Amino acid sequence: MKFSELLHHITGISCPIFGISWQPAASERTIAKNIIIFLEPRRVLYSAHEFEVISHAIQSVVDIKNFLTSVLQQIPDNTELNHYVRGMRIACNKFLNRCNGNRYEGVLLQNLTLENLIFISALGEMRGTFGVMIGQIAKAYGIDVEDELAQIIPE
């Protein structure tokens, strides 16, 4: 670890004799595992779209995007994990740009209106991106993925 990186982890200095306390950086594998664990119960990534309440799905994507943004602060730049997390966050933004939550308030996705078709298309594209990124993270860091989430990982 470089000295400049060490400075970011110092949380306190004590005297009169001498002392220092610091917070060690989480390993990339630990962060990657935490990302996978966070994503595993997110049904918006793998559940059949016929059973989704669209406004709930949109809120779940917002929650995922916010989580990924907070995780990025812990990941060094120029790492593969940073690249994968940014890719997932971009997919969230693209989905949210295409699906305005106000049009879908409380509507179940059961009839094929234009808005619902846009939602299905945007959801499929986002799931495809997430599948690739999750697969790359699992492979790079040797992390198991629960079967439900693993179904979006391409072979």
**Mean pLDDT throughout 133-146?**
94
Lowest-confidence segment of 9-18, 70-79, 117-126 by average pLDDT = 9-18
pLDDT digits (tens, 9 = 90+) for 78-116: 899 999 999 999 999 999 999 865 565 555 556 667 777
Q: What is the pLDDT of residue 132?
A: 96
Measured CA to CA, the distance from residue 154 to residue 96 in angstroms comes to 23
Contact 101, 58 (CB under 8 A): yes
Contact 69, 89 (CB under 8 A): yes
Q: What is the pLDDT of residue 5?
A: 46
pLDDT digits (tens, 9 = 90+) for 17-73: 555 554 444 589 999 999 999 999 999 999 887 767 788 889 999 999 999 999 999
Q: What is the pLDDT of residue 155?
A: 82
User: Higher model confidence: residue 139 or residue 102?
Assistant: 139
Residue 14: which H helix or E strand, with range? strand 10-14
User: Nearest to residue 37, comparing CAs of 138, 126, 153, 128?
Assistant: 138
User: Nearest to residue 116, comparing CAs of 93, 100, 92?
Assistant: 100
CB atoms within 10 A of CB 27: 10
Measured CA to CA, the distance from residue 53 to residue 107 in angstroms comes to 6
Residue 19: which H helix or E strand, with range? strand 19-22
Torsion, Cα 141 68 109 112, to 10 degrees, reads -90
